[in-house]
Amino acid sequence: FFLSLKLENKTKGKLQKQICQVVLDHFEKQYTAELGDAWSSVRDVLTSPWCWQHALLLNRFSPCPGLESSLAEQGYHPAFPAALPYLPKAFSCYIRAAPGRFPAQRHQPGKLKDYYLLNAASLLPVLALEVEDGEDVLDLCAAPGGKSVAILQCACPGHFHCNEYDDLRSRWLEQTIESFIPDALINLVMVSKLDGRKIGDLQPEFYDKVLVDAPCSNDRSWLFSADPQQAVLRLMQRKELSSLQFQLLRSAVKALRPGGSLVYSTCTLSKAENSNVINLLLNSCRDVMPVDISEMARGVSQEFTFLSGMQQHELLVLPQKGRAWGPMYVAKLKKISST
């Protein structure tokens, strides 16, 4: 009872966060133009935190007896159908139609957590990457570590490089990995604080799979910016993000072996940071080709709402009431021999 009361009070406190009007006005103009009629319902969810749904990614390294039956009693169900093109047996994520948040687990040194609370849409880039045992994998912008943890729920890489340039976020990443990955596997994981734009030159053609979950204009958090001046500054700097994203992608392509796969993702609706960046890369790199992910999108269409009219190598999850939330943009590419 005390836990649920504490959780309820904490949730109410979060719901009282004020929407930043300058950001909402900016989004209103941009996304009305880019999303058309879809923007109205998307805006309603983005501005209503009580609509947001948190999924649970279960930790295969710390099985918790009774957790799955307890989740089922509370209306949770597996988020991804077994019919997906790629869904490892150990990968287990639960979600429910009703909004709400399962209690978080505290970080305790030496003790593994049983589950990771996350936006279910953020697992789509990991499923699109299709990591297999023994592959060399790079998570280029890895903090806070949810996708790194998810990759390790799917497979056991031969070498797993998790990189995060920001010092504070890098420590967060290390703590996340420590919370979910047993000591026996920690030696597979290398955490670095390199400039992601330079990794391709430092480790050319080294990786089989690369995930670029790029820094972006995070629509959800920006809408609740506490400091209006900071919000204005963010919006002014927003145009520079696509340049950074493109440089990170160029680096990722260099780091890929021929035949290797690259997945790019963001948590913004912005076309400038999504399709436009991918199109620029495809037009400027002769050794990269798009990969069709429409089968995966069809497989999860019961849970997610996607923007229509996207190319087969990309998808954009639109936040909608009663659906697993986004935003989440995903695009998949493959490196071919340039000779």
What are 27-58's pLDDT values in tens digits? 999 999 999 999 999 999 999 888 888 899 99
- At residue 338, does pLDDT exceed 80? no
Range of the domain at 223: 21-53+120-335
Reported confidence tier of residue 267, pLDDT bands at 50, 70, 90: very high
Cα separation, 4 vs 82, in Å, equals 33
pTM: 0.93
For residue 161, what are the β-bridge partners?
138, 190
Let me know if residue 79 belongs to a domain: no
Overall average pLDDT of the 315-327 stretch: 89
Let me know if residue 141 belongs to a domain: yes
Let me know if residue 111 belongs to a domain: no
Handedness of CA 65, 67, 70, 72 (dihedral sign): negative
| Nearest Cα residue to 160 out of 123, 193, 185, 125 | 185
Tokens of 84: 């997906």
Annotation marks residue 267 as catalytic: yes
Q: Looking at the 3D structure of the chain, how many domains does it have?
A: 1
Q: Are 329 and 268 in contact (CB under 8 A)?
A: yes
Let me know if residue 204 belongs to a domain: yes
Residues sharing a CB contact under 8 Å with residue 309, sequence separation 6 or more, in sequence order: none
- At residue 314, does pLDDT exceed 50? yes
Let me know if residue 96 belongs to a domain: no
What is residue 16's predicted lDDT score, i.e. its pLDDT? 54
Q: Are 138 and 200 in contact (CB under 8 A)?
A: no
Overall average pLDDT of the 96-112 stretch: 86
Let me know if residue 76 belongs to a domain: no
Q: What are phi and psi of 289, to 5 degrees?
A: -135, 150
What is residue 325's predicted lDDT score, i.e. its pLDDT? 82
Binding annotation for S-adenosyl-L-methionine: 141-147, 164, 195, 213
Of 16-20, 73-77, 200-204, the range with the highest mean pLDDT is 200-204
At 127-161, the pLDDT tens digits run: 999 999 999 999 999 999 999 999 999 999 999 99
Q: Are 163 and 142 in contact (CB under 8 A)?
A: yes
Cα separation, 191 vs 163, in Å, equals 6
- At residue 321, does pLDDT exceed 90? no
Let me know if residue 102 belongs to a domain: no
The region, left, alpha or beta by phi > 0 then psi within -120 to 50, assigned to residue 241 is alpha
- At residue 83, does pLDDT exceed 70? yes
Let me know if residue 113 belongs to a domain: no
Instruction: Write down the residue that tokens 């690259």 correspond to.
Output: 262
Which has the higher per-residue pLDDT, 291 or 239? 291
At 228-258, the pLDDT tens digits run: 888 889 899 898 999 999 999 999 999 999 9
| Nearest Cα residue to 56 out of 134, 113, 128 | 113
What is residue 52's predicted lDDT score, i.e. its pLDDT? 83
- At residue 81, does pLDDT exceed 70? yes
CATH of residue 178's domain is 3.40.50.150
What is residue 3's predicted lDDT score, i.e. its pLDDT? 39
Question: What rounded mean pLDDT belongs to the chain?
Answer: 91
